[in-house]
Amino acid sequence: MKLSLAGSRSALRRIFSDKLAARSFLLAASLPLLLLLLMAAALLFRTLPIFQFVSPWEFLTGDLWRPSQGEFGLSTFISGTLWVTLLALILAVPPCIFASIFLVEYARRGTLRGILPAIDLLAGIPSVVYGVWGLLVVVPLVPRLGQFLRGVFGDLPFLTSSNPTGFSILAGGIVLAVMISPIIVSITVEVLRTVPQGVREAALAVGATRWQAIKHAVLPNALPGIIAAAVMGLSRAFGETLAVMMVVGNTPAIPRSVFDPGYPLTALIANNYGEMMSIPRYDAALMGAALLLLVVVIIFNVLSAMVLARLGQEVSS
């Protein structure tokens, strides 16, 4: 009887400890989502006062930013963010795809093992280091690059600018392209690895060359994952602050050329948050810009995660 009672107590303790461990793990796994919801709620609460004086549409599309006069419009800064981000993607995605194809399809295993850690190391370099590199190397080269491109292509609208300095959308795009390249390459390499080897062998068996097998068999299967990698890079570029702020010029005007200066949302928040205490509604306007950045980055990350998860399910099935 005593043995039976002791065994029951031991079993209850095991069940209780198992449930406690499961709930503890669930709580730990839920903390990032909870933190994200708390951040969004706090930003939304701090943003609401601005909408008592301007509608959300006017706040997003207005082109006047004069806090001392109570005028808050983000379109200039949204435009600067889009210019820099899209230019960074244009500069980064094609070389990253080619590099990933080489690493997976052509490189020897020793080469792959040597290059991938170096790429991961680039992802861990602080953004201020990229910003200093941009100041020392990229910014001085931009005016010369502009002269060369105008000499080759003529006075195209997006190449013509009255900006005499190298602080420009192009400088920010180049620095961002370098920063997001490790992310795009790492994800693209893993996506290409998930393409079954049988797909390559089937293409080669019907007489295709290696490049034809990659072009017509491997890349179509990996395309959703490559798009997800680009979206992840876009998310990183959209929220980058310090490096871009150091080289983009921070001029509150809508850019007309890649050689014009710009003023991204992230730079707006970083440059002006310390001044907002003495100006009414300035705090709410900057919190609205931060909320916009958070929402866009969340959307990009969710979309890319969904694509990668679906790709993983297709491979496993």
Give the dihedral of Cα atoms 137, 139, 144, 148; nearest 10 deg.
100
> What does each C-alpha distance from 265 to 74, 114, 217, 269 come to in angstroms?
8, 37, 41, 6
Alpha-helical segments (H) within the chain: 2-47, 56-61, 75-101, 109-123, 127-133, 139-153, 169-194, 197-205, 210-213, 219-239, 242-247, 265-272, 282-316
Q: Residue 190 pLDDT more than 50?
A: yes
Confidence band, pLDDT 50/70/90 cuts, at residue 314? low
Q: Identify whether residues 28 and 101 lie together within a single domain.
A: no
Q: Which domain holds residue 222?
A: 56-316
Mean pLDDT of 15-24: 74
Residue predicted with more confidence, 110 or 184: 184
Q: Identify whether residues 62 and 32 lie together within a single domain.
A: no
Domain count, the chain: 2
Confidence band, pLDDT 50/70/90 cuts, at residue 3? very low
pLDDT digit string, tens, across residues 38-76: 888 988 898 888 888 888 888 888 888 887 787 888 889
CA 152 to chain centre: 32
Confidence band, pLDDT 50/70/90 cuts, at residue 316? low
Q: Identify whether residues 15 and 86 lie together within a single domain.
A: no
Mean pLDDT is highest, among 13-22, 46-55, 74-83, for 74-83
Q: Report which residue type is found at 148.
A: F
pLDDT digit string, tens, across residues 218-239: 888 888 888 888 888 888 888 7
Q: Identify whether residues 9 and 105 lie together within a single domain.
A: no
Whole-number pLDDT of residue 2: 47
Q: Identify whether residues 61 and 190 lie together within a single domain.
A: yes
